Amino acid sequence: MASADQIRLLLVEDVPQVAQYVRGLLNAQSQVRLVDIVSDGTVVATRIGEHRPDVVVVDALLQGRVRGMQLVKQLHDAKTGVPVIVLTVPQNPVTVDPDKGIDEVLSMPFNGYDLITRIANVHKTASAATEKGPSRLVVVFAPKGGVGKSTIAFNLGVAASGLGMRTALVDGSIQFGDLRGLLKAPRDAPSMLDLPTDRISESDLADVLWRGPADVDVLLAPPRIEMAEMVLIRDVEKTLSLMRRLYDLVIVDTGVGLDELTLALLDQADTILEIVTYDATTIRNTIAMAETFQKIGYPPSKVQYLVNRADSSAGIDPNDLRVALGREPEYKIRSDGQVVGPASNQGAPFVTSDPGAGVSRDVLDLAQSLFGRSLAGAGRKPALAGAR
């Protein structure tokens, strides 16, 4: 089983003896997990999408329709973001050249120390360069309740999944379990409290994820209010770290208010999608949050504003909101209670129950704008969720 801090390795090797030797070296340690051995270069890109490895080792002398160094070039051109170690022999020297997709070279013969050290080094370098890991973490936040935050988070996740992104939702409203209620998840459905508190593996996660509509995996909050105090921030952070290895996109629906857990989630976010409406209290709270985010040190680009029910200004001049935010809101979603209400009451995403509705098109446009550039790296959805 893979824990959240293990390095996931994909080996591309067509010589059985070499593959078996590498497998034996890796079996003797726990830092690196071998997720697969591939002997055919033509399927490597697909396997990367399936396994989400942290490092790929490619034999420079790989034979077949796609040769070793040809494969290295293909991976580099595809911008997979996964560092590549080239395995070679002294008679076939290869030079480290990141500009050509060669992040490290390992020459035979080698021992376990040589192998693990190079894997760890390239992984560390790649992690430092990307900082946040291979996927996107979007935290949907609102400074006031009743603005449609959870409904937007849910439908945005379904829309992103429809774009081909492997998507997971996390119910960050720990006390009230907003997503649990919205999706009408069974009361006995597992929650984040069912995860181990030390080392979390893929199989642990698969056991507690609930498969929601449109095959979006959901990590639910505890089913009862008093259980919220049992959720530890460090456990949530470790879980998110593992999920970011396995999904293209993780969307967290937070609770309202700035408790310690919400702040930790906001800190980890690549993007904070803050939901606002034409409501005096919401606007006032939004101004207060903008001042707080500035004091924390969040760059302005980290927070993006979405005006929900944008066609229902309720007597408030839209310019007042622009002045309050100090800029034009990035996104707007129109109001359509005849579409949103019935779908939400049935625990269904309106983006799929009525995709032609204006509000659905707004959310689909939002997903395309936020994540469209990520589709080149999106792969096939992992079959993780085991709970229903």
Query: What is residue 78's predicted lDDT score, i.e. its pLDDT?
Result: 85
Q: Determine the length of the chain.
A: 388
Q: Which residue has the higher pLDDT, 30 or 379?
A: 30
| CATH class entry, domain 7-130 | alpha beta
Residues 25-47 have a mean pLDDT of: 91
- The domain segmentation of the chain, as residue ranges, is 7-130, 136-377
371 within 8 A of 249, measured Cβ to Cβ: yes
Confidence band for 3, pLDDT divided at 50, 70 and 90: very low
Question: Can you tell me the distance from the alpha carbon of 348 to that of 352, in angstroms, rounded to the nearest whole number?
Answer: 8
Q: pLDDT tens across 219-256, in order? A: 999 989 899 889 888 888 889 988 988 899 999 999 88
The yes-or-no answer to whether 7-130 and 136-377 have a common fold is yes
Which residues touch 271 (CB under 8 Å, ≥6 apart)? 136, 137, 138, 139, 302, 304, 370
What dihedral angle (degrees, nearest 10) is formed by the CA atoms of 84, 85, 91, 93? 70
User: CA gyration radius for the chain?
Assistant: 23
**Range from 131-145, 293-307, 312-326 that averages highest in pLDDT:** 293-307
* CATH number for the domain formed by residue range(s) 136-377: 3.40.50.300
